Amino acid sequence: MISAWLAAIPPFTVAVVLFVLPGLLVRLAGWNVRSLTHYFLAPVISLAIVGTAANVAPLVGLRWSLVPVAILTLVAVAVAFALRRWVGAERRAIVVPRPAALVAGIGGLVGAALVMGAQLAYVFVGPSNISQSFDNVAHLNSVKLALDTGNASATTIGSVTGSSIYPDGWHAFVSLVVQLTDVSVPVGVNATNLAIGAVVWPAACIALASAFFKDRPAALVSAAALSTGFAAYPIAILWWGVLYPNFLGYAVVPAGVAAVVLLLRSAGARDWVRSGVLLLVGLLGTGIAHPNAFLAVFLFGAVIAIDQLIRRGARQRSRRGWLVSSAAILGIVLLGAVLLWIVRTPTSAATWRPWGSTSLAVVQALTTATNGYPVTVPIVLLLAVGVVGVIVRPRRLAILLPFLVAAILFVLVAGTDVGNPLRRLLTNPWYSDSYRIAALLPAAAIPVATLGAVTGIDLVKWASHRVVVPRAATVAVSVVAAVALFVLVGVVGPNVRTYAANARASYQITPGSWLLSPDELELLRRLDSETPAGAVILGSPRDGASLAYVLADRQVTEKYVFGTKTRTQLILDHRLRDIDKDPSVCKAVRDAGATYVLDFGSFPDVQNQPKTAEKQYGGLENLKPGAHLVLVDSVGEARLFRIEGC
């Protein structure tokens, strides 16, 4: 099993470099190199650069490759350097990170990468396995289309899903990784997802801990360890959907919130300008990944900003101060209302049912054990201590507020009726989907649990302040405690361990797999020798036949289930089985340029809805050989027909 993953090392390495290097260069050019927090913001800056390059490249006549990324990186570096020269360095004293903080940050990231990498490798089963889920048909074929057309823009990706635009950040990274390493699309997908889950996500969590706790080593390590202990993110979102764009967007949500904290902590116009630019870049990267993630950063950042504005107004004790703070708060609320309206989804797409009662949803939100999965006790204890820490010191309220927002959203979507107007108002941008909102809980909970960890450490220090402990012993105890936290939450934590086992089933290829069975996959692998390179293949997107495009490099008439269908497609989908007696079918075949048909039967169906599959694609299923349909090959019940005589 381990040897199989060796093939993923080159694309994983390339993905990590793409996520780190562009942002790191911009950060070094534009910000103080001794500030620790900014280093962990490099991935979200890189996301902004790569995502923007993917959308700008076709506008200036460049094919999607490393070239537009390199050009935009150089432009961004130049702008950052100019900003640093024109605006000037920070006026306040620069605190050089202590060696302990550097070790804690780097060591925490490495530890999280190892644990998260092992978790995700277990879930993915093998480097070439694919998620047997509904939306994966669109995601895999979108990456293939980006490679074939040299265009990874939001409009190109949207053409597969049937929308005018679609979040393309994830597809841009995967297609670039595949292009640079010449691996298959499935291997590129898994390698890139490993980089996102094992590097980008914990780095963002460390960035937020660094901003909240001012580079305290214990906080950095705790945040890194806690990033490995939640099932709701990243594992659940790699199973449900599958929601790859959300997966990337949510990975940098903590980084976006960290940029908000840095902005609020700025002193003077110079700092405000530089921190404001950094926040805008972070929001751009997050928004390119997914608008839902952008909205999450706004909501989490908004409550933190409102808390700070109220405190500043109270400190100034003047009418002018209160008026300024009140105006700013009103502006934030109005902007939030506008964003909630702009990012809304069609009502027909936001009809997901709640999971259970309101009280159950409250318990699940506060314990972060969503969807009925078991509680990881150390996380709940740290959350409880963190909440107490905020109650004891209300000035730390900003750490708790995002968690309260995420919990409220989750309770609304998981514990109230579909007709609840507040539920519709606040959760619609997430399709009123419990999985999408549950995945936001870890990003908001980790700072609270981190506060619980450092509060516990402070209590231990206070209790033993008269005991003289050798430095070597202190270091040893700290290392053991850090390792223990990684093990308790990320390795043996029941919440993530149980969910990982269930998610793994969605990546296994079995006779009952919803998307591709072993027989169907074997037949797809034979297409290279049994069909010409220019073949156009008919098949149902619901049973995996459309994956002939990405897995066998053969054109298909429909790359996804959704989207407006032409009259020709409707005739083929509904009546191809009548080709021997219906002349209009042969005409439709000629119009589509189709030469082959993949018949994977009517079951299993990717949504486990065989009646719906029959209604939508019954003409392509359970075909019989005849004058126009010649059986070329079969593996089990999976069959390949050649169309003749049309």
Do 453 and 382 contact (CB within 8 A), yes or no?
A: yes
- 320-354 pLDDT, tens digit per residue, is 778 888 899 999 999 999 999 998 888 777 788 88
Of 91-105, 142-156, 322-336, 550-564, minimum mean pLDDT range? 91-105
Tens-digit pLDDT profile for residues 428-446: 999 999 999 999 999 999 9
Residue 643 clears pLDDT 80, i.e. is over it: yes
Q: Which residues of 495-525 are buried (b: 16+ CB within 10 A; e: fewer)?
A: bbbbbbeebbebbebeeebbbbbebbbebbe
Torsion angle of alpha carbons 162, 168, 170, 172, nearest 10°? 120
The pLDDT value given to residue 267 = 81
pLDDT of the residue at 313: 82
Please check whether residue 77 is in contact with residue 29, taking contact to mean a CB–CB distance below 8 angstroms.
yes
Please determine, for residue 95, whether its predicted confidence score (pLDDT) is greater than 70: no
Amino acid 473: pLDDT: 67
Percent of the chain with pLDDT over 70: 96
Query: What is the per-residue pLDDT for 97?
Result: 64
Phi and psi based region of residue 241 (left: phi greater than 0; alpha: psi -120 to 50; beta: remaining): left
The pLDDT score that the predictor gives to residue 240 is 87
Question: Does residue 92 carry a pLDDT above 60?
Answer: no
> Which pLDDT does position 468 carry in this prediction?
66
pTM exceeds cut of 0.85 = yes
Judge whether 253 and 286 are in contact, CB under 8 Å. Answer: yes
* Averaged pLDDT score across all residues of the chain: 92
- Amino acid at the residue 101: A
Q: Say what percent of the chain tops pLDDT 90.
A: 74
Which of the four pLDDT bands, split at 50, 70 and 90, describes residue 9? very high
Q: What is the mean pLDDT of residues 12-18?
A: 98
Alpha carbons 443 and 527: distance in angstroms, whole number = 44
- Cα(138)–Cα(141) distance, rounded to whole angstroms? 5
d(CA 346, CA 349): 5
